[in-house]
Amino acid sequence: MRFRYSRWDDSQDPFGPDDPAAEVLEALSEDVLSGMGAEGAMERLLRRGMQGRFGGLDALLGRLRSAREREQAETSLGGPLEELRGRLEEIVETERAALAFRADEDARTREAFLDALPPHVPGKIRELGDYSFVDPRAQRMFDETMEHLREQVMGAYFRSMAEGLRNLSEEQMRRFGDMLAELNEMIERRGRGEPYDFEGFMQRYGDLFPDGPETLEELLENMARRMAAMSRLMSSLSPEQRAELQALAGQVLQDMDLAFEVDRLGANLASMFPDMGWDRSVPGEGEGISPLSATVDAIERLHDVEELERQVRQDYPGASIADVDEDAVRRTLGERAAIDVQRMKRIERALEEAGLLTRRDGRLEVTPKGARTMGERALVRVFERLRRDREGTHEARTAGGQAEPTGATRPWRFGDAGQIAVQRSIYNAVVRQGGEGWTPGTSLRLHPDDLELVEAEQRTEAATVLLLDLSFSMPLRGHFVHAKKMALALHALIEGRYPHDRLYLIGFSDYARRMEPRELADEGFERVYGTNMHHAFNLAGRLLAEHPRATRQVIMVTDGEPTAHLEGERSFFSWPPVPRTIELTLAEALRLSKAGVTLNVFMLEESPGLIRFMERLAQLTAGRVFLMDDRELGAFAVRDYVARRSR
């Protein structure tokens, strides 16, 4: 075994593996908390990618566009005809050179025949096919050209078969024709809903399909992609070029007695796969010569790129990352890009398997566990910030002082100090290894996850109500995400380190209401006006009344002065605020103060009206008011809570 060591900086977890699901959720959290919801945040993450994990769809789309432009620049649509024209000219010149050394009348007649050859390629081939060459080398070149032409035409229609169709005997050619006839019959039977024997077909003709398709659909899709590319090449040529190439291909297939079945197969495949761009022209900006099969290869690659671009853009109804064809990505952009697609496809499944996200009524939502995890990750970032500021000594998980055991235990976490609960730890090890075949009398191995500590923390209970301003101004001014992160971090801190404390979360705008942490990840935000602190203080007082012996506090995060209050059961809103709103709000805050509740207010703006109100609030309640940069909100709130809790 090999080990790698690095300097300890308090951020490593030496025992637990990296948690990619939690890391991905953290990458989603900014957009989730901004009101996009899990669905929108996931779409945005897939578009931009995640550093160190995968490249995003936007990067993939950029590479595909470059690949398309490169294919178009290199593809010469007239290349196949130019290649054959060049071969024929070389053959004719070779024959002319041999005739020039002869002075007989036959030589002059042959020269006249060569001078009168048609200018187009099919005509030249037809005439030279009946010509008896004087030069053996010219005859050999012509025979090789005809064999090359047959290979190219077959390769243009049947990509993977061309290699195996060289120098076929008449019997082998009849077998190939029989295969096409059976294949067409099988396609037509399938279309009529009748049974067909694909397995028997492959037993008879499997050697003609080197790709080894496992189903009829796979075989037909591969053939359709190829024949559609040939169709697109024909549609992209000028009328004269198209006529030449069609005549050549038809002549070759007719000579091989395959023309009827190939036409029949093309019609069948076009009806089965109409979305493959049959007869749609493609741009080709390249110049020069290229074999027919290679040109069709380029058009097929171009189709793959175009289809992948459509899949990656995700701009059609019902689009999903699952639509992106990994095999096409691998063919077009290579293995690295295919791995990125695989990882993107696994993200949602990994988050669901980890219990962080779930689908409800077709929409992706953050689960309670997911909200808790987001809070834990936010808390980690807070502590990292505190460490950089040479503060945050509260991160050490110590019980503090000599406290009496409570009788309870808790799981040990790296960095914890305290008394090991030996019996409970051994029990955990036995239970864990019991599923692996452990039996009494054999050695028992302790794992860090087995360890538990004797709970020795003082049981002084604290009850906190966090009032979070949900009015429309919070997202408009950019405070929403930081306020939500602070709320989640505080929830994670209390739940993880102070399990006997209680945290209530109240959101308020025109009305106040109880919230669960997972609701902070809901899509959208409240498009209502009103900052009803009166209702929020009232609801906080009722909740804290259930904890008369606890240390109680209210933490409020807001960017505006009170503009609404309750009139009976209805909310009254006014901007600028009326005196009665101010009076009722201050009276409710004073009632909290007289009940022994500490008020801590975080102001995220400093308008004159808000400052005047907060000054009066602080005077009446002896509370604390902080003007905060919202980016510092989480670190300050957590640090202050831990400091007050330790006292």
**Sorting pLDDT into bands at 50, 70 and 90, what band is 17?**
very low
Least confident piece of the model among 80-84, 224-228, 396-400, 547-551:
396-400
C-beta of residue 547 within 8 angstroms of C-beta of residue 595: no
C-beta of residue 577 within 8 angstroms of C-beta of residue 529: no
Q: What is the mean pLDDT of residues 152-163?
A: 76
**Sorting pLDDT into bands at 50, 70 and 90, what band is 230?**
very high
Q: Establish how many alpha carbons lie within 13 A of residue 439's alpha carbon, considering only the half-sphere containing its beta carbon.
A: 1
Give the pLDDT of residue 208.
Answer: 85
- C-alpha span between 265 and 224 (Å, rounded): 9
- C-alpha span between 493 and 355 (Å, rounded): 20
- Flag whether pLDDT at 364 surpasses 50: yes
- C-alpha span between 165 and 252 (Å, rounded): 13
- Flag whether pLDDT at 4 surpasses 70: no
SS3 of 422-452: HHHHHHHHHHHHHCCCCCCCCCCCCCHHHCE
Burial 26-43 (b: 16+ CB within 10 A, else e): bbbbbbbbbbbbbbbbbb
- Flag whether pLDDT at 385 surpasses 80: no
- Flag whether pLDDT at 395 surpasses 60: no
Which three-class secondary structure state does DSSP give residue 514? Answer: strand
Give the pLDDT of residue 24.
Answer: 82
**Sorting pLDDT into bands at 50, 70 and 90, what band is 168?**
low
Q: What is the mean pLDDT of residues 132-143?
A: 94
**Sorting pLDDT into bands at 50, 70 and 90, what band is 398?**
very low
Q: Establish how many alpha carbons lie within 13 A of residue 36's alpha carbon, considering only the half-sphere containing its beta carbon.
A: 16
Angle 472-478-484 from CA coordinates, rounded to 5°: 80
Average pLDDT of the chain?
Answer: 83
The share of the chain scoring above pLDDT 90, in percent, equals 28
Phi, psi dihedrals of residue 561, rounded to the nearest 5°: -80, 165
- Flag whether pLDDT at 192 surpasses 70: yes
- Flag whether pLDDT at 10 surpasses 50: no
Q: Does the domain formed by 462-646 have CATH 3.90.550.10?
A: no
- Flag whether pLDDT at 399 surpasses 50: no
Give the pLDDT of residue 518.
Answer: 82
Which one has a higher pLDDT value, 436 or 329? Answer: 329
Give the pLDDT of residue 382.
Answer: 67
C-beta of residue 420 within 8 angstroms of C-beta of residue 412: yes
For 599-646, how does the pLDDT look when each residue is reduced to its tens digit (9 = 90+)? Answer: 988 888 888 888 888 889 888 888 888 877 767 766 677 777 777 666
Give the pLDDT of residue 350.
Answer: 84
- Flag whether pLDDT at 225 surpasses 70: yes
Report the Cα 501 to chain-centroid distance in Å: 39
If 0-12 CB within 10 Å is exposed, 13-18 middle and 19+ buried, where does residue 387 land?
A: middle
Instruction: Return left, alpha or beta for 512; rule: phi > 0 is left, psi -120 to 50 is alpha, else beta.
Output: beta
Q: Return the closest-CA partner of residue 299 out of 80, 123, 2.
A: 80
- Flag whether pLDDT at 183 surpasses 90: yes
Which one has a higher pLDDT value, 342 or 629? Answer: 342
What is the DSSP secondary-structure string of 53-72? Answer: TEE-HHHHHHHHHHHHHHHH
- Residue 420 is classified by DSSP as B
Which one has a higher pLDDT value, 467 or 436? Answer: 467
The share of the chain scoring above pLDDT 70, in percent, equals 86
Give the pLDDT of residue 505.
Answer: 92
- C-alpha span between 564 and 575 (Å, rounded): 9
For 548-598, how does the pLDDT look when each residue is reduced to its tens digit (9 = 90+)? Answer: 888 888 988 888 889 999 998 899 998 888 999 999 999 999 999 999 998
- Helices 170-191 and 216-236 meet at what angle, rounded to 10? 100
Where do runs of H (alpha helix) occur along 237-334?
239-255, 259-272, 292-313, 326-333
Q: Which residues are registered as beta bridge partners of 593?
A: none
Which three-class secondary structure state does DSSP give residue 577? Answer: coil
Strand 598-603 with 551-558, pairing: parallel
For 455-493, how does the pLDDT look when each residue is reduced to its tens digit (9 = 90+)? Answer: 765 455 788 898 998 888 887 777 777 888 888 888 878
Structure tokens at 233: 């090449």
Which one has a higher pLDDT value, 316 or 541? Answer: 541
Could you tell me the CA-to-CA distances from 473 to 572, 611, 638 in Å, in that order?
A: 18, 17, 24
For 274-315, how does the pLDDT look when each residue is reduced to its tens digit (9 = 90+)? Answer: 988 898 888 877 777 888 988 998 898 888 888 899 999 988
C-beta of residue 198 within 8 angstroms of C-beta of residue 186: yes
Structure tokens at 192: 């009529």
Structure tokens at 105: 């009348």
Give the pLDDT of residue 365.
Answer: 85
**Sorting pLDDT into bands at 50, 70 and 90, what band is 393?**
very low
**Sorting pLDDT into bands at 50, 70 and 90, what band is 415?**
low
Q: What is the mean pLDDT of residues 73-96?
A: 91
Q: What is the mean pLDDT of residues 365-394?
A: 66
- Flag whether pLDDT at 397 surpasses 60: no
Which one has a higher pLDDT value, 52 or 298? Answer: 298
- C-alpha span between 511 and 514 (Å, rounded): 10
Give the pLDDT of residue 113.
Answer: 93
Strand 462-469 with 502-508, pairing: parallel
Structure tokens at 415: 């960095």
- Flag whether pLDDT at 45 surpasses 50: yes
Rg (CA), the chain: 39
Report the Cα 645 to chain-centroid distance in Å: 42
CATH 3.40.50.410 range(s) for the chain read 462-646
Residue 554 CB contacts under 8 Å (≥ 6 apart), including other chains? 464, 465, 467, 537, 540, 544, 592, 597, 598, 599, 600
Phi, psi dihedrals of residue 571, rounded to the nearest 5°: -90, 135
Which three-class secondary structure state does DSSP give residue 470? Answer: coil
Handedness of CA 58, 63, 67, 73 (dihedral sign): positive
Give the pLDDT of residue 1.
Answer: 57
| Strand residue runs (E) in 377-432 | 409-411
**Sorting pLDDT into bands at 50, 70 and 90, what band is 428?**
confident
Q: Return the closest-CA partner of residue 4 out of 37, 12, 510.
A: 12
Report the Cα 203 to chain-centroid distance in Å: 41
Which three-class secondary structure state does DSSP give residue 445? Answer: coil
**Sorting pLDDT into bands at 50, 70 and 90, what band is 383?**
low
C-beta of residue 467 within 8 angstroms of C-beta of residue 536: yes
- C-alpha span between 375 and 491 (Å, rounded): 7
